[in-house]
Amino acid sequence: MLSHPWSAGVARLKALLGEARRCLIVSHVNPDGDAVGSSLAAWGYLRAAFPAMEVLVAFPNRFPDFLSWIEGADRAVSYLDSREAVHTYLQGCDLLLCLDFNDLARLEALGEALTACAAPRVLIDHHLRRGEEFDLVLSDPSASSTSELLYRVIVALEGKPLLSKGIAEALYTGLMTDTGSFSFSVNTPDTFRMAADLMELGIDKNEVAARVYDSYSESRMRLLGYCLQSQMRLLPERGAAYISLSREEMDSFNFQPGDTEGFVNYPLSIRGITLSALLTEATDKTHIRVSLRSKGKDISVNDMARKHFNGGGHFNAAGGKYFDTMENCKAYLEKIWNESC
């Protein structure tokens, strides 16, 4: 199990970690379960394994409330809220640990701040196509999640899963959320072995699932109902469906970050639907956020996101942006979907 293709990379990481005095851990904008889980697990691991190292986690913006129970969440900062603190921290920083993205553009303004920092950039990630902006890349697009990759890296560094329960909970959160509770993206039995290892470290997996999935607000639940009842358009001939939400609609349901997490998957539960999108208007109304999902091996939404929406992601899950109105975005989406029939 330890004979992974990136053993040379792990050795290089070990050397970098041995020298680092101050490390910044970063992950992508609108951080999801895997971004937050892997970042906080890395934070916990580095603090335990390298007690003399200063470690900080920074996200481009705030993560959703349903992840705030993870150990270390209260110590992580959002660049939007703590710009100056991050700039000051970066001045003496000698290691950048980049998790769950492969392009600095995914960090938005935080990415620009990083370009001014000369510290080596280590990327641990499972997205397709890696950016060229990193000094060391530990990537495996077949991995279920960045949390799984990080787990493999830690095991390789330590020789065994030297992890606390808190770190195991963070890793399990990333694994569970990026696989839809083990429904997709699980490509090897090793993923289940990892879950078993985490259970042996004392996590209560039912409790983790309940904290993440049973903590929605009433307004989020009603927003989901509204989306499915009124905002979902089906294109049955194309085997596709999409949901669209304007800012006004989101505001009327007291929208909070993370509230639309998972909405894009619902249309895929309809028989015959293998392609789905969620279109949400950005807060500043400058663009539409496009979230894409597909089922099976025929449609690469990663290609679709890259070609049409200046984005990317995985074969079956990707996202991007469309810089125009919602009406035009919907028309464009239907056009490209019908063309690729």
Q: Are 37 and 68 in contact (CB under 8 A)?
A: no
Render 132-177 in DSSP notation, one character per residue.
S--SEEEE-TTSS-HHHHHHHHHHHHHSS----HHHHHHHHHHHHH
The token duo for 184 is 């997709």
Out of 28, 56, 100, 267, the only residue in the binding site for Mn ion (CB under 5 A) is: 100
Handedness of CA 230, 235, 239, 244 (dihedral sign): negative
Closest residue by Cα to residue 245 from 228, 264, 231, 229: 231
Out of 240, 255, 311, 329, the only residue in the binding site for ligand 5GP (CB under 6 A) is: 311
Q: Which is nearer to ligand 5GP, 111 or 320 (CB)?
A: 320
Kindly state whether residue 178 participates in binding Mn ion, applying the rule CB under 5 A. yes
Out of 103, 125, 169, 281, the only residue in the binding site for ligand 5GP (CB under 6 A) is: 103
Q: Are 301 and 318 in contact (CB under 8 A)?
A: yes
Residue 236's CB is within 10 A of a number of other CB atoms, namely 10
Cα–Cα distance measured from residue 173 to residue 189, given in angstroms and rounded to the nearest whole number: 18
Kindly state whether residue 258 participates in binding ligand 5GP, applying the rule CB under 6 A. no
CA torsion angle 127 130 134 135 (round to 10) = 100
Out of 6, 24, 27, 28, the only residue in the binding site for ligand 5GP (CB under 6 A) is: 28
DSSP one-letter code for 266? G
Out of 38, 179, 191, 291, the only residue in the binding site for ligand 5GP (CB under 6 A) is: 291
Shortest Å distance, C-beta 242 to ligand 5GP: 12
- Binding string, residues 30-59; x marks residues near Mn ion by CB under 5 A: ----x-------------------------
Out of 313, 316, 322, 337, the only residue in the binding site for ligand 5GP (CB under 6 A) is: 313
Shortest Å distance, C-beta 253 to Mn ion: 26
Shortest Å distance, C-beta 146 to Mn ion: 5
Cα–Cα distance measured from residue 338 to residue 235, given in angstroms and rounded to the nearest whole number: 9
Q: Which is nearer to ligand 5GP, 249 or 261 (CB)?
A: 261
Among 138-146, 223-231, 264-272, 288-296, which window interacts with Mn ion (CB under 5 A)? 138-146
Q: Which is nearer to ligand 5GP, 102 or 163 (CB)?
A: 102
Q: Which secondary structure element, helix H or strand E, spans residue 224, and what is its range?
A: helix 218-226
Kindly state whether residue 318 participates in binding ligand 5GP, applying the rule CB under 6 A. yes
Q: Which is nearer to ligand 5GP, 154 or 185 (CB)?
A: 185
Q: Which residue has the tokens 């894009």?
A: 264
Among 59-67, 95-103, 195-203, 317-325, which window interacts with Mn ion (CB under 5 A)? 95-103
Q: Which is nearer to ligand 5GP, 136 or 291 (CB)?
A: 291
Closest residue by Cα to residue 24 from 104, 117, 100, 102: 117
CA torsion angle 219 223 225 230 (round to 10) = 150
Cα–Cα distance measured from residue 162 to residue 263, given in angstroms and rounded to the nearest whole number: 36
Kindly state whether residue 111 participates in binding ligand 5GP, applying the rule CB under 6 A. no
Among 18-26, 52-60, 98-106, 184-192, which window interacts with ligand 5GP (CB under 6 A)? 98-106
**Interface positions with Mn ion (CB under 5 A):** 34, 100, 145-146, 178
